[in-house]
Structure formats: structure tokens, C-alpha cells
Chain A
Amino acid sequence: MIVETGHYALVLALALALVNSVLPIWGSVTGDRRLMAVAPSVALMGFGLVAYAFFALTYAHVASDFSLANVVENSHSAKPLIYKISGVWGNHEGSMLLWVLVLALFAAAVALFSSSMPDDLRANVLAVQSWIASAFLLFILLTSNPFARLANAPAEGNDLNPLLQDPGLAIHPPLLYLGYVGLSITYSFAAAALISGRIDAVFARFVRPWTLLAWICLTLGIAMGSYWAYYTLGWGGFWFWDPVENASLMPWLAATALLHCTAVMEKREALKIWTIFLAILAFSLSLIGTFLVRSGVLTSVHAFASDPQRGIFILLILVVFIGGSLALFAWRAGGLKQGGLFAPVSREGALVLNNLLLTTCCATVFIGTLYPLALEALTGEKISVGPPFFNLTFAPLFAPLFVLMPIGQNLAWKRGDFFGAAQRLIVAIGAGLIAMLALAAWRGGPVVSVVLSGLAIYVIVGSFADLGRRLFVGGGATAIMGAGQRALRLPRQAFGTAFAHAGLGVTLLGLAATGWGAEKITALRPGDEVEIGPYQLTFESVQPRAGPNFAERIGRTAIRSSGVLIATIEPSTRFYPARKMNRSEAGIATIGLGQVYMSIADVAANGSVNARVFWKPLVSLIWIGALIMAFGGCLSLSDRGFRIGVARRAAKAAASSPQPAE
């Protein structure tokens, strides 16, 4: 009964989404406030229904209800509970349901936290959100229904792909979807603004927190996915320039650009057209990513099932939403008034350059991802565009961003002073140079690593330069005494910016340090020793061990540094009988900020085990940097100027005295 009511709730959600696609827009066109008021209430109800449907599917997975095709294909009664739950979105149908759940969640959040928003803007935003929801609910119900039942329920299921049986899967997709689909809100805002024709600083003010929220989730989701690949795929890589990864990187680049752009628009009302364009672009790239992953055009761990019919349906959604919004854009963009003016060397100018570089980076990723597909479709020639292509195109375009980032932060709005800004960065530049020289003298190693490390230090220190200048005004003891007080009064957004930028520097440092890593592939017998980086590894034993739904062979290995035991790791190979699949699990020991990473393969005939051993200094900084970025984002989000509830009080105050103050 739970299953079928969940199914019905999903159908009902489609009916509501269709209603919400029409009534609010009708209201905003005719100025009928009752029709507009329908939008938030229906958005909340719609979320409730989709959430119930999702709960019903989760229940079916947890209870191993093998009368559902989806459960049979992706679950097994012996699977641990956490993977029964995460298995709900570890497949095509379930992940699309999660997609729609997040879509509905964001609509509901807008409905709840937007009482200060003008009625017509809110009505239009929620209506556009409902268009997207309608399209995807139709897609689910007609082509990928998770509630499809089987006439004869089998006794046991086929189990989830072992690669996906990992705690990472429990967190990675929901986070990524919060980011991916969260961008739908910026899209809806842009489309709503284009429909009403009012695109101004007020619009930017309302769209900013949502962009930031989506960006935070996307950042965390990508980092999480990268770490997951790092420890499950067994060869120590963390980014493969795999098309599926690129599909998440592109929206991130666009969202980052959008984030900076809305700042300009809110402060100066400049770059209006560009902001709207980026808002559309960011979500369009999310949609393209969904299409690439879900249509079976690409195949990877993420492509659960390929079905041409589904591909065509998503392609259709893609064409309608991207094409429609761009047409709307072309129609309205011409009529926009010029915003605030600024000199090329200014905060605005720097942000324009930032946007330019970010979107160009995004374009190169786009080309690298889609070129092989286009070429195969046109000529039948199969090629692969791998890391060399991206290293050669993406890196040179992204590197200037690091150089310019601290400088831009130190430029004034409207008209800046380049040399003044450079002067303020004296400390940062010095720190970078010293780090570079010290590293070159102490470690030597690849030039790229040395240069990038120096650049990273410059970025980290430089990110706080502006903050420091604002805190320590004047000189001497008074400045330090005043700093604490000032810090309290300073908008949290200023801290947020500094942390987010520094986080990127931290990630860069982690990337740069990969050059100093070491790798060994060797055959080991119990008792053998191997030296990696500064550590000695002793391969102690190979033992079988039983997991809940797999059998594994673990290779106990002790890590010593100058004779002292530091850690023990247990890399393993696992066998999952339900799917008859093997999977290896790396053994990782985090020592300081670096990691010793080891993965083993099957036991050879002579009793030795083939192993791959890495020493990766500072590697954890790559993900710590992402966490710092997200932390910075959260700080900004909690800022008064960003907080969604604040304008409400202001609006009430304004409403009580309708005459403008001047």
C-alpha cells in the first residue's frame, strides 16, 4: 500500500506542477494577486508529495520488496542497511526521483523564505520551477518509473553494483544534486526576470543567496566525488577529466562566474545581460550534464542504464528549456538599460576578467567533452580526449585567475589603482617568492610544482590582505587592539570571500605537491618491505575476511618512519558473489597532510601479491581546500546582507512609510 500510494503521490505531484506552471504566470500577467498567491502553497504541497513518493521507494528498498523491478535490479536482502538506503539513488530511476525531489525542495525553500520578495517575481520564479518539475516528472512517469511492478516477484534481487556500495555514494549524489539542481533556482529567477522584464539590483539581491547555496553544495559534491574516485578506483588518481566529472565541473565554473557577477549587479547594477546569461548557462550546463549521464551517450559508473528513448526525452527537455530561455533572452536583452559605469581597472573590471576567464575555461572543457561525441556522430571515428588536452587548455586559462584573484580583491569599485593594489599585496607576493625559493632549495623537484606552490602561498596570503588592511587600521598597538572590535563589525561576507579564495589556494597547493609524490608497483610476499617516500612499509600478511555481502582478502601492512610504527593499513580485494564482481579497496593512512596509499591485486600463483604503493605529500589539502571554500560560502550566506529573512523586516518598515525618504 505504501508503494502504490507513493506512486500515486508522484502522479499527483505532476498534476500540481502543471497547475503551478500556469496559474501564477496568469496571475502576474493580469495582476491578479490571488492567482499569484497559489504558487508558494502549491510548491510546498508538491514538495510534500514528491518527498512521500521518495519515502515510499526508500521503504520498498529497505523492506526488500521484490515486487518492484527497481528493487530487484538494484538491491539484495543481504545488503547492509546503509546501502539499501543509498541504493535508492544508486540507479537511474531512483536518481531521477532524487533529482526531482531536490527540484521540489528548492521550490519549497523559495516559497518559505521569500516573503520579502515581490509577489510577481515569486510567482514567476515558482512557475518556471514548475515547468522544469513537470518535464522531469513526466520523464520519470513515462520512461523511467521506479514504481514499476513485476508480475512475479523473484525471491532475491540482483544487488547493487559493488563499486557503488560505499559510504561515498550515500553522500556524493545528494550533495551534487543539491548543487546541480539548486542552479535551477537561478535559472528560474533569470527566466522570471526576463518574463516580467524587470532586471535590476533588487533581482540580483534575491538571486544571490540561492546561487551561493547551490555553489556550496556543488563544491562539496564535486570534492566528495573526487575523493570517492580516489579511494575506490585503486590507482590514486583524483580527477580523470572523465566526461561525467566534466559535466559537474562545467556548471561549477559557470556558477562561480555567476556568483561574482551578481555581486557586481547588486552593488552597481552593471553587467545585467551577462548575469542573466550566466544564470541560464549554469543550469543549462547542469541539464546537459544530466543528458550526458542519463542518456547513455556516455558510459561510466554513473550511467546506470542506457536507453535511447530516455535519451531522446531528455534531449527534448534540453532543447525546450535551453532554447526557450535563450529565445526569451534574445527578446528581452536588447531593451535593458545600461547600468553603472566603471573603468577597466576597477573591482568591476577585475570581476569581468574573472568571468571572462571562467567562462572560457568552461568552454574548453565543453569542447573537450563534446568533441569526441560530435566527431563520432559525424565521421564514425572514435577518439578520446584525455588529460593532456585539458592540462594544455584548461590550466593556462585558469592560472591567470590565481594571479589576478588577490589583486582584484584589492581594487576599489568604479576606478581602481593597479599599483596600489599590488603594493598592498607586497606581503603576499613576498611570501610566495620566499616559499618558491625555499622549496626549490630544500626539495627541488619539478619546476611546475615549485612555481605552483609559490603561487598557492601567494593566493592564500593575498586572500586575507584586504581583510587585514580593513582590520588593522593605523599602526602599532592601537591597531591590534582595534582589530578585534572591527572584526566583529565587519560584514561576515568579507571573511567569507577571504576564506573561499584562500580555499582555492589550499587546493592548488595540494595539487602542486603531487609532483613530489612517489609511486611503486611491486610484487610483495608476506614479510617483504618496501620503501616509499620517507616511510618503510612492511607487508605483514594476507588474510581472508568476510564482509556482510562480500568476501575479501586483506593485505595487512605496517607503516614505519625510521623504525617507529605509525599506522597499519589494510588494502583489500573484495568479491561480491551476488554480482560475481571483484572490487579493490585501497588502504589509506593519513600522516600529517599527506597520505600513504596502497592497493593490492589478486594473489599470484607463487603466493606474492601485486601491489601499488603511493606516497602523496599534502594530498589531503586538495579536499581540505574545497571544504574551506564551502566554509567561506557558508560564512557569506550567514551574512546579514545575504540572509534571506532580513529584507522582510526592512520591507515591513518600508511598507509602513510608503513615502521614499528623499
Chain B
Amino acid sequence: MTRKKRRLVLISSALLTLSLAVGLVLFALRDNIVFFYGPSELAQKAPQPGTRLRIGGLVKEGSLKRLDGQSVRFAVTDMKSEVEVAYTGLLPDLFKEGQGVVAEGALGEDHVFRADSVLAKHDERYMPRDVADALKKQGVWQEGAQQLASPGK
């Protein structure tokens, strides 16, 4: 094999790996990213039922209902609109009414959001800015850490 040929083999294998990687990334980015909406945005954008989403806001005071077994229902609000969430499983330690929450799942036909994971987080990245600001204004802002909860895969 000449030096040129060797180099050709090297470069083409590099290109092959890279194009494979690019292809995978593009494919994965098309199907596997999840958009994040607040309740107002959700109402406004009206995504297809069944699309995977993350929604975030505050757990509405007085909205938490424990159904039979492990099922719970609560409403997520941003003080303007709200969305009903159904979830089965353990709620994270930091989950509380009036606190920030993020739920991942999909919106059903009946406009109830079926979550398969719930994260409670006192943290402005996981809630719409105006909710965070509203919280700050009321002086109930708490520095804290995250707590994850999600069913096993």
C-alpha cells in the first residue's frame, strides 16, 4: 500500500464515522427532544395530543388530590392559566402545593396532562420567568436543591 492509499483509508474511515455520528445526532434531535412549556404557552401553542412535553409552573394551592393507590392529580399554574396533571408514582420529597414543579409526559385528548415523571425543584430554570418573579415578589422564595423522581425505565 502506498502512503497515499493509507491516508485515503484513514480519512475515509474518519469521514464514515463522522457522517454516521451526524446522521444519528440529526435523527435523534428530530425525535427525541422535548419542549418545555408553561401552562399559558401550552394553551396558546396547543400541541398535538400525545406529543411528549415538559410542563412547568407552580402546583396550585389546594389542587392536590390523592386518588386510589399511587395515583395523584394536581393542577400546574402560572397564575394566568393552569393545566390538570395526572401522575402515578411517588412524588418527590420537595413536591408541595405552591412550589415549583416540572412534569414530563404527554397531553391527552381530554386536556389532562399525563405525566410519567415529576421533578420538584425550587429553581427558576424549571419554571416560567413570571412565575419565578411572582414568587420572589411574595418573598416566599427559597434557595434549595433539586429532587428527582421518575419511574424506572
* A residues apposed to B, CB below 8 Å: 161-164, 233-237, 240, 298-301, 341-344, 349, 352-353, 356-357, 360, 363-364, 367-368, 371-372, 381-389, 392-393, 396-397, 517, 519, 521-523, 573, 579-584, 599, 601, 604, 610-612, 614
A580 and B150 alpha carbons, distance in the complex (Å): 23
B18-47, CB under 8 A of A: which get 1 and which 0? 101100110111011111110000000000
- A386 in contact with B34 (CB, 8 Å): yes
CB of A588 to closest CB in B, whole Å: 15
From A387, which residue of chain B is reached at the shortest CB distance?
B153
The answer, among A237, A298, A523, for a CB contact under 8 Å with B70, is A523
B54-87, CB under 8 A of A: which get 1 and which 0? 1000000000001001100000000000000000
Chain B residues within 8 Å of A614, by CB: 152
Nearest 7 CB-CB pairings of A with B: A382-B36, A388-B32, A582-B93, A392-B28, A344-B9, A389-B32, A519-B152
Chain B residues within 8 Å of A164, by CB: 145
Given A301-B145, A388-B32, A522-B70: A356 in contact with B17 (beta carbons within 8 A): yes
CB of B126 to closest CB in A, whole Å: 8
- B35 in contact with A385 (CB, 8 Å): no
- B90 in contact with A601 (CB, 8 Å): yes
The A/B interface has a contact count, at CB < 8 Å, of 138
| A-contacting residues, B85-108, CB 8 Å | 88-94, 104
- B148 in contact with A610 (CB, 8 Å): no
- Cβ of B51 within 8 Å of any chain A Cβ, yes or no, is no
The answer, among A233, A364, A385, for a CB contact under 8 Å with B24, is A364
A372 and B35 alpha carbons, distance in the complex (Å): 10
- B10 in contact with A352 (CB, 8 Å): yes
Given A237-B150, A610-B70: A356 in contact with B29 (beta carbons within 8 A): no
- Cβ of B6 within 8 Å of any chain A Cβ, yes or no, is yes
A233 and B89 alpha carbons, distance in the complex (Å): 15
Given A301-B145, A301-B146, A364-B24: A521 in contact with B93 (beta carbons within 8 A): no
- Cβ of B137 within 8 Å of any chain A Cβ, yes or no, is no
Given A388-B28, A389-B28, A601-B90: A521 in contact with B146 (beta carbons within 8 A): no
- A360 in contact with B21 (CB, 8 Å): yes
* B residues apposed to A, CB below 8 Å: 1, 3, 6, 9-10, 13-14, 17-18, 20-21, 24-25, 27-29, 31-37, 54, 66, 69-70, 88-94, 104, 123-126, 142, 144-153
A523 and B125 alpha carbons, distance in the complex (Å): 32
- A353 in contact with B36 (CB, 8 Å): no
The answer, among A240, A344, A384, A517, for a CB contact under 8 Å with B36, is A384
Chain B residues within 8 Å of A353, by CB: 13
- 12 additional A-B pairs beyond A393-B21, A521-B70, A521-B88, beta carbons within 8 Å, are A341-B6, A344-B13, A357-B17, A382-B36, A385-B33, A386-B34, A392-B32, A397-B24, A521-B151, A581-B145, A582-B94, A612-B89
CB of A508 to closest CB in B, whole Å: 18
A614 and B151 alpha carbons, distance in the complex (Å): 11
From A575, which residue of chain B is reached at the shortest CB distance?
B93
Given A385-B32, A521-B70: A343 in contact with B1 (beta carbons within 8 A): yes
The answer, among A240, A372, A386, A523, for a CB contact under 8 Å with B32, is A386
CB of A651 to closest CB in B, whole Å: 35
CB of A165 to closest CB in B, whole Å: 11
From B36, which residue of chain A is reached at the shortest CB distance?
A382
- A601 in contact with B93 (CB, 8 Å): yes
CB of A393 to closest CB in B, whole Å: 4
Chain B residues within 8 Å of A363, by CB: 21
- A396 in contact with B24 (CB, 8 Å): yes
- A235 in contact with B70 (CB, 8 Å): no
- A383 in contact with B33 (CB, 8 Å): yes
Chain B residues within 8 Å of A341, by CB: 3, 6
Chain A residues within 8 Å of B91, by CB: 601
Chain A residues within 8 Å of B146, by CB: 299-301
Given A388-B32, A614-B152: A360 in contact with B17 (beta carbons within 8 A): yes
CB pairs A–B below 8 angstroms (13 shown): A164-B145, A235-B149, A237-B152, A352-B10, A364-B24, A364-B25, A367-B25, A382-B35, A393-B25, A396-B24, A519-B151, A599-B90, A614-B152
- A612 in contact with B90 (CB, 8 Å): yes
A368 and B123 alpha carbons, distance in the complex (Å): 22
CB of A107 to closest CB in B, whole Å: 33
